[in-house]
Amino acid sequence: MVFAQQTLHITSTTLQRMFLLRPDAVVNQVLLYCLFRAADEYGVLVHSVFVASNHVHMVVTDTRGKVSDFMHWFSMMSAKNLIAYYQQQYPEVHLEGIWSKQPFNAPVLANANAVIEAIAYDITNPVKDGLVRDFRDWPGVCSRPHGWTQPARKVERPKGLAFNDRDKNHREVTAKFTVPP
């Protein structure tokens, strides 16, 4: 059941858990742009995000009860753009999808302790998995607690992929992590 004003811990995995989200400048830009564009479109506040090579975690507050629409747009547009990117990089490989056919998981975080635990789990995930010694060293998308006090930053729409480069709307989005409730 989806209700407005719920804070959720979303997890979504890649197709067959393949490493389709490996950190690089383009992958990071696609994911950040799609995340914050979808958040803006559907009234979702993003508190934290961590993108591993084969899954994503995020803590969000769904202000309008539109988390399914938010995840649909994020998944669809990030997949279209990442597939286009990988086709440029590896023209001999045909990739049919990015995200698992299984639905995303989004348990409700019932209280402040649950929110804190979920955010701590997300941002320390690369350390727990032995990928880096310090979470700040992760080269992929990973929010930081100090991000709540930082000014918003602009993320440009990726060029030359699945977005229409002639579209004058949404050339950039504002990426701002918000303090969780």
- Kindly report the pTM of this predicted structure: 0.94
Give, in degrees to the nearest 5, the angle at Cα 49 between 45 and 55.
130
Residue 58 has pLDDT above 80, yes or no: yes
pLDDT of 104 higher than 90: yes
**pLDDT for 164:** 81
Query: How far apart are the C-alpha atoms of 160 and 122, rounded to whole Å?
Result: 31
Calculate mean pLDDT across residues 76-93.
94
Give the type of residue at 140.
G
Judged against a pLDDT cut of 90, whether residue 168 lies above it is answered with no
Q: In this predicted structure, what is the pLDDT of residue 36?
A: 97
| Mean pLDDT (whole number) for 29-58 | 97
Averaged confidence pLDDT in the chain: 94
CA distance linking residue 141 with residue 125, whole number of Å: 12
Give the pLDDT of residue 31.
Answer: 98
1-9 average pLDDT score: 90
10 pLDDT higher than 80: yes
- pLDDT class of 121 with cuts at 50, 70, 90: very high
74, pLDDT greater than 90: yes
Burial-class residue 2 by CB neighbours within 10 Å (0-12, 13-18, 19+): middle
- What is the rounded CA–CA span in Å between residue 167 and residue 181? 35
Smallest CA-to-CA distance from 39 within 60, 23, 56, 8 is with 60
pLDDT beyond 80 at 1: no
> Is pLDDT above 90 for 169?
no
> Given this model, what pLDDT does residue 166 score?
79
